[in-house]
Structure formats: C-alpha cells, structure tokens
C-alpha cells in the first residue's frame, strides 16, 4: 500500500537560513513523487517532481529534493529561505491510479 509521511507539521526558519522539509514514502510500485506548495487562499502549485530519472530534482524558486530509495525519503531543501517561502508544503506519492497527499508542513520564515 502507498503512503507518505511528512515528519514535521510545522517548521520555522530565519530568513536567509536553509530549509529542510522531510518526507518519507512507502510504495509497492516504483513511485512518482511530487512536492506542491500552497500559499494562503490559493490552490496548490507544483514545485518539483521525481519520476525515476535523476535522483536529485531541481524545482522552481530554488527548491530541490533528493530521492533516496534506501531511506525511502524525498526531502525538500532550499539553501536560503525567503519571506515569500512562508506557505504550506505537501509531499505527494502516486502509483497505479492512486494519488496520496501528505498532511502538509507549514513553513514559517522569520525576518
């Protein structure tokens, strides 16, 4: 069965410091993995996706994620946080015709 676990419900960083949002997955298939971002009162926007090509995936706004099969992880990182990064982030796994969303991690960025 597929599942995805976002290990932190809230993460707080200072502007200019690195961001790490953690996601572990479980899948019987070779998974596709996505990170989406949702700003207040907006829909979800794709940040990046992994579909069995390069294990280090670069996305928009300076975000990247690394697929680690041995650790069943797909953590999202950014070297330097910006105030505009404050939002909720969702890790998503798919396989077959199922799409499973994580519970979300809310990122706070302090000035």
The contact set with another protein (CB under 8 A) reads 32, 34, 36, 41-46, 49, 51, 90, 94-99, 101-104
Task: List, as one string, the DSSP characters of 75-108.
Answer: EEEESS--GGG-EEEEEEEEETTEEEE---EEEE
How far is 82 from 62, CA to CA, in rounded Å?
A: 10
- Closer residue to another protein in complex, CB, 14/99: 99
Supply the minimum distance, in Å, between the C-beta of residue 15 and another protein: 27
**Does residue 62 come out as left (phi exceeding 0), alpha (psi in the -120 to 50 range) or beta?**
left
Supply the minimum distance, in Å, between the C-beta of residue 42 and another protein: 6
Supply the minimum distance, in Å, between the C-beta of residue 71 and another protein: 22
Supply the minimum distance, in Å, between the C-beta of residue 16 and another protein: 29
- Closer residue to another protein in complex, CB, 10/82: 10
DSSP state of 62: G
Q: Pairing mode, if any, of strands 10-14 and 105-110?
A: parallel
């Amino acid at each position: 069965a597929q599942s995805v676990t976002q290990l932190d419900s809230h993460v707080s960083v200072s502007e200019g410091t690195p961001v790490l949002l953690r996601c572990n997955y479980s899948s019987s298939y070779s998974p596709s993995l996505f990170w989406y971002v949702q700003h207040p009162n907006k829909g979800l926007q794709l940040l990046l996706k992994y579909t069995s090509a390069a294990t280090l995936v670069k996305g928009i706004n300076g975000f990247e994620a690394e697929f680690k099969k041995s650790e069943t992880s797909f953590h999202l990182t950014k070297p330097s946080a910006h105030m505009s990064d404050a939002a909720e982030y969702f890790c998503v796994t798919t396989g077959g015709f199922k799409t499973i969303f994580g519970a979300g991690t809310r990122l706070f960025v302090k000035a």
